[in-house]
Each structure stands twice: as structure tokens, then as C-alpha cells.
Structure 1
Amino acid sequence: MSTHKPVRIGVVSTANIAREKVIPGFRTTPWLEVAAIASRNIDTAKTAAVALDIPVAHGSYEALFADPSIEAVYIPTPNDSHVDLTLAAARAGKHVLSEKPAAMNAADAERLAALPPGIVYLEAFMVRFHPQWLKTRELVRTGAIGRVAAAQSFFSYFLDDPANIRNKPENGGGGLWDIGVYPIVTARFVFDAEPKRVIGLIELDKTFGTDVLTSAILDFGEGRHLTFTVGTQTVPHQRVNVVGSTGRIEVVIPFNAPPMQETVIRLDRGTALGDAKIEEITLPACDQYGLQGEAFAKAIRGVEPLPYDYRDAVKMMKILDAIVESGKTGRWVSL
């Protein structure tokens, strides 16, 4: 248990991810106290507050930012609003945990350079705090699979509802922005490097205008490649393989790891095909949203600094921009 006073955090909007995943995750750690929730409609905010047992409801985001009892905010609004809301909250003195992606493009993300001094900012990539990814990176770093060469990722779901925000390009919808970020961020995490160039292939929905199938190759240099495919009108599936010269690591549920359940990664030394000699490594039960929130709160309390800030978000947006440009031109794009 922490001897530090928990950080009082407010939630900006009643988005599904906040209600169903992040708020329950926050409540697994003593470092955070979910103290308020806001909506642009006070009745919506009050209904959510009652359902989620949150003591304070605000009828506007501005009211939440002005609440002197709130130290930090979590922003799960549509992608096109992330930067504006982040800056508004930060100017009101609130630390910010913003949902991914941080912005609509790199130029939008670069506006985060205006964050006031002393504000803790984190783009919400919860996977970087999950034990299965920490273990995967440890295995790579210690040479368990030899010289690391490639990561292969697949992530998909089926969603054809035209009213869903993820099918609206003006709000930053589409597979690359919604889930393509995960193969990229985990490869950056495991390789401990940034890509040098990318090439992408993008299929757009003729009605929505969003990408429904995107594949890309990211060249990290030194013989390291990420290849990934993400789809939003494809059977739900996710899997990651990290392959080296003497073995591979398979992350079975890489991105939506079930909360408070053990997870498994599989280490294959390559001595027999068909997984005949594979070793399963079980990681302890946890909630990755809770672990992310705890790291955020510890940084606010000055206990342990975060390894990521807004500059990491700018790097991510530059990669997405390059994949989009490559999808249009059919050429490699350097970063």
C-alpha cells in the first residue's frame, strides 16, 4: 500500500473505454482516486457518476478543469479533441493522461510543446506497463531469442456501424489510428529503437472513408523489421510474434489482456516445428490500465519519473503520417 496521498483524478467524458476499462483499472491501485467525471450534458454526467460511484459530476469539461480538488485528468474523448483538451486541462494546472493517439497528426502533436512546466503528461499506451510486455522486452534484451530480427503483429475487429466514432475520419477514426498504434508502440518498446523508414498499404471503406485494412513494414535498421496488419471489418483476432536468430516469443493476447487474470507468453527455441517444444511463461494477474494509472500517479507524486512525455507522442504521429503518405504514393517514406 502507498503511504502517499492518492492523486485525485477526473475523467473527461463518459466514453465506453473509461467506464468499462480505465476507471475499473484505476480502482485497482491505491495511488489514484477517481474523484469526478464530466460530460457536456450534466444529466449524462450525473447518471454516469451514480452508476460508477463517483462523488462529483460536472456538466462541462471546463468545470472539471476548474475544480480545485482535481489534480489530474484522464481524456478518452474523440481523437481530434485530444490536443485541445490536453492543453486546456494543463493550463488549468491539471496533469494529463490522454488516450491514444495523442493527436491527429505530427503537426497537431507538436502543439503539446506548449504544455506548462511541471505538468506530467502521458499518452495512454497501457501495454507498456503490462508484465507480459516487460517480460518480452527482458527476454529480447538478455538474448533469449538471439539477435532479434522481426516482429509480426495482427490486430483486428469487426465494426461497420456508421454512427461509431471509429468510422468517422473527421474525428480521427480508422484502423491505423485506433489499433495500428499498438503493433508500432510494442515494436518500438521491444526493439528499443525508432523506425528509419516505412511502407504502407491502405484500403479505405468506400462509405466511411476510413481505413479498414492497413498493412505496413517498418524498417528499424540493423536488420530489424516490424510487419503488421490491422483491420476494422475483419474477424476479431490479435497475436504478436517476436523472432530472433535462435528463438521466438509469441504474445498470445498482446493488446487486450484480460484484467486481473494471468497471461501467457510462449518461448520457442526452434528445436521442433509445430510448437512441439514450446515453453509457456505465465505472468501474474494484473490490470494494465491500473498499472498505467499507478505509474502516472507516481510521476505526479515525484516517486518515479515516466520514461515517456509528449515528445514520444510526436514520434508516434510522425510514423503514422509516414504510413499514410506511403499508402498514397506506394513508396518508402523515410523518417
Structure 2
Amino acid sequence: MKKIRIGVLSTAKIGRTKVIPGMQRANNCEVAAICSRDAQAASRAAEELGIPKAYGSYEDLLADRDIDAVYIPLPNHLHVEWTLKAMARNKHVLCEKPMGLNDGEVNRLINALAAHPDIKVMEAFMYRFHPQWVETKRLVDQGAIGAPTAIQSFFSYFNNDPGNIRNKADMGGGGLMDIGCYQVSLSRLLFNAQPRRAFGWMDKDPCFCTDRTFSGMLDFGGRLSTFTCSTQLAPYQRVNLLGEQGRIEIIIPFNAPPDAPTEILLQQGDETKAITFDPCDQYTLQADTFAQSILEDTPAPISIMDSFANQHTVDALFQSAETGTWQNC
């Protein structure tokens, strides 16, 4: 069976601890190389993770003709730059979210893809591939809770490390870009629409100048998604979706553990039941699905237009928070 050979651009923690181990359990791809601007760091990571090749520069990995695709877990401000460079080397790209710092950056990728129609570029919203989300979407689409009308979500962790890229404003840090983008994404997924307008409120860290807490409202025309995300609150995550006839609650919506069951709660009328899912790795599922789209030459599971729409909404939320007014999406 042919496998897609993936190279990893950087030794970022998310890659080393979560995404690469998940990819290595996939059926139709393999992690064939890793790189860093520090050759010793690349070699250490390759040895630790059992990766055959290590490179001391991103350019050297992209020049490897044996690499079919790259995974990019670089800081947010480098996503578009290195996606474009990978495309220029005819590499498919799985890039960490957010795809770009604004919708204008994502539009650069849209234009580049028009010139490279055979290349797959996908934003790594891994949560969408977990069975709990696949089932939630199926239940909603089949009318299990009636017309979905309201979404409430919360996502937070605590990180006040000044050296962490999530706390660096010039690198695209802050809560909305790091985790609030998930809440925008799930809202658009469950309502199967783009919001008409957005309202945002944020509290900025006085030292980092990043949004340490961001709350938003997305108006889908008679349907509303409200959310809060924070980089400096107690760790917590939860999603509630309410319809005219029921409710779905996702207990661990984003960081679903690969080695433990997960569950969602389905309330229909006065009855609530738990739906349990066997342990699985959402990063493995993401890698398998992305690689399969390359092998079969089918569209990327998450399109670049979906990424543009998500970033456009994030941009509107930021603009609203700065002006104190609703912004059209």
C-alpha cells in the first residue's frame, strides 16, 4: 500500500507530543523527515520519535524529492510564508490553525492554489475528525434536537509564560487566534452557514498585548453562537448546542484524549442519554483522511475556502472588539 511521506517543519511541542505520534499510527502516511533551524534539535527529535531523516533547515527538507507533503506547526505568523514555499516545491500541506493572520493572508493561498490545482492544502482542525464530532454533526443534520438555535462554548487554559509564542502579539498570539478559532469553526460547522455579523469583547494582557480573554457573539440570523476563550483562566472546555426539541453537550470537545473514552450527552425532551466513543486519536484520523485525499486526488477534507470564511469571521470579531460595534461577516 502506497503511503504519503510527510516531513515536519520544526520541532514544535504540538508536533512532537501530539501530531507526530498520531501520524505515526496512521495507515496511509508516514513521518519521513523533520527539520529545525537548529540541526542538533532536529536530530534529537528524529531520534526520540524514530524519524528517519533530520534536516538543519526548512529549505533542505523542502528540497527532498522523497517528501510528498509537509506538516507545519510553526508560529502563526509563519504559516502562510512556509505554506507558499512548500507549494512552490510541489508539496501538499497540512498546516496548523489558524491558516493565516488575517483573511488577506489566506487569500494569498487561494490565489496560489489556482496555479497549483493538484496540491492539497488543509488547515489542521483535528477536532472535526473525531467520532464525537462526526456523530454530533450527523445528529444535528438529521434533526435529533430539532432546529439548532443556540450554541454556547468555553475553552480556556492558563499560560503566562512570556517566552511562549501564544503570548507574543507579533507572532499572532492570543486567545482568539489560538483557541477561539475552534469555537468559530464549530459554530459554522453546526449551523452549516457563515454568520451574518459578529460582536467581540476582549481583555488584553498589559504586558503581552495579546487578548488573554475574548468573548464573542456570532449572529446567524435567528440563531446565535456565544463563546468565551482565555489563555489565563483555569483549564476548561465544553460545548452546548440547543435546539427546539433537545440539546447536545460535548464534554471534551477539543482535546479529546487518545487513550480514554469520550462522550456526548443527547437530551431529547425530558430524557438525557450518554453516547460513548471508544478511545481514538483525532490526529491519526486527521492524518489518514488528509493522506487519503492526496492518494485519491479528491478535495482536501477542509477546504481553503472554509479556512478563509473562518478567518474572515475572526477578523470581524477583532474589529468589533476594537470599535465596540457589530461587524458584518
Q: What is the TM-score with the length of structure 1 in the denominator? A: 0.95
Which shows bigger deviation, 104-113 or 91-100? Answer: 104-113
Provide the C-alpha distance between the structure 1 equivalents of 2:206 and 2:279, rounded to a whole number of angstroms. 42
- 2:280 partner amino acid: C
Match of 1:274?
none
Provide the C-alpha distance between the structure 2 equivalents of 1:76 and 1:171, rounded to a whole number of angstroms. 13
- 2:246 partner amino acid: G
Question: 290, 293, 302: which is aligned to 2:287?
Answer: 293
Q: 1:246, CA displacement in angstroms?
A: 1.0
Match of 1:226?
225
Provide the C-alpha distance between the structure 1 equivalents of 2:126 and 2:228, rounded to a whole number of angstroms. 20
Match of 1:321?
315
Match of 1:85?
82
Q: 1:304, CA displacement in angstroms?
A: 4.7
Match of 2:123?
123
Provide the C-alpha distance between the structure 1 equivalents of 2:297 and 2:26, rounded to a whole number of angstroms. 15
How do residues 1-335 of structure 1 correspond to structure 2 at under 5 angstroms? 4-112=1-109, 113-115=111-113, 116-221=116-221, 223-271=222-270, 277-302=271-296, 304-335=298-329
Which shows bigger deviation, 186-195 or 244-253? Answer: 186-195
- 1:104 partner amino acid: L
SS, match of residue 134 in structure 1: helix
- 2:143 partner amino acid: G
Q: 1:306, CA displacement in angstroms?
A: 2.8
Q: 1:128, CA displacement in angstroms?
A: 1.0
8 A contact 2:9–2:34 mirrored in 1:
yes
Provide the C-alpha distance between the structure 2 equivalents of 1:303 and 1:246, rounded to a whole number of angstroms. 40
Deviations for 1:143-189, whole angstroms, at most 9, x for unmatched residues?
A: 11111101100000001011100000000000000000111111111
Provide the C-alpha distance between the structure 1 equivalents of 2:63 and 2:260, rounded to a whole number of angstroms. 38
Q: 1:303, CA displacement in angstroms?
A: 6.2
Provide the C-alpha distance between the structure 1 equivalents of 2:105 and 2:292, rounded to a whole number of angstroms. 28
8 A contact 1:295–1:304 mirrored in 2:
no
Provide the C-alpha distance between the structure 2 equivalents of 1:62 and 1:199, rounded to a whole number of angstroms. 41
8 A contact 2:290–2:301 mirrored in 1:
no
Provide the C-alpha distance between the structure 1 equivalents of 2:27 and 2:279, rounded to a whole number of angstroms. 17
- 1:268 partner amino acid: Q
- 2:188 partner amino acid: R
Provide the C-alpha distance between the structure 2 equivalents of 1:50 and 1:24, rounded to a whole number of angstroms. 13
Unaligned stretches of 5+ in structure 1?
A: 272-276
Q: 1:117, CA displacement in angstroms?
A: 2.1
Provide the C-alpha distance between the structure 2 equivalents of 1:106 and 1:260, rounded to a whole number of angstroms. 36
- 1:181 partner amino acid: C
Provide the C-alpha distance between the structure 1 equivalents of 2:47 and 2:91, rounded to a whole number of angstroms. 24
Q: Which runs of 4+ in 1 moved over 3 A?
A: none
8 A contact 1:127–1:186 mirrored in 2:
no
SS, match of residue 301 in structure 1: helix
Provide the C-alpha distance between the structure 2 equivalents of 1:155 and 1:135, rounded to a whole number of angstroms. 21
Provide the C-alpha distance between the structure 1 equivalents of 2:269 and 2:203, rounded to a whole number of angstroms. 35
Provide the C-alpha distance between the structure 2 equivalents of 1:293 and 1:76, rounded to a whole number of angstroms. 14
Provide the C-alpha distance between the structure 2 equivalents of 1:305 and 1:333, rounded to a whole number of angstroms. 31
Matched residue pairs, number? 326
Which shows bigger deviation, 34-43 or 301-310? Answer: 301-310
Provide the C-alpha distance between the structure 2 equivalents of 1:61 and 1:307, rounded to a whole number of angstroms. 26
Provide the C-alpha distance between the structure 1 equivalents of 2:25 and 2:264, rounded to a whole number of angstroms. 23
Deviations for 1:103-131, whole angstroms, at most 9, x for unmatched residues?
A: 00111111102132210110000011111
Unaligned stretches of 5+ in structure 2?
A: none
SS, match of residue 151 in structure 1: strand
Deviations for 1:185-211, whole angstroms, at most 9, x for unmatched residues?
A: 111111111111000001100100000
Deviations for 1:281-314, whole angstroms, at most 9, x for unmatched residues?
A: 0123211111111111001101653342222211
- 1:77 partner amino acid: L
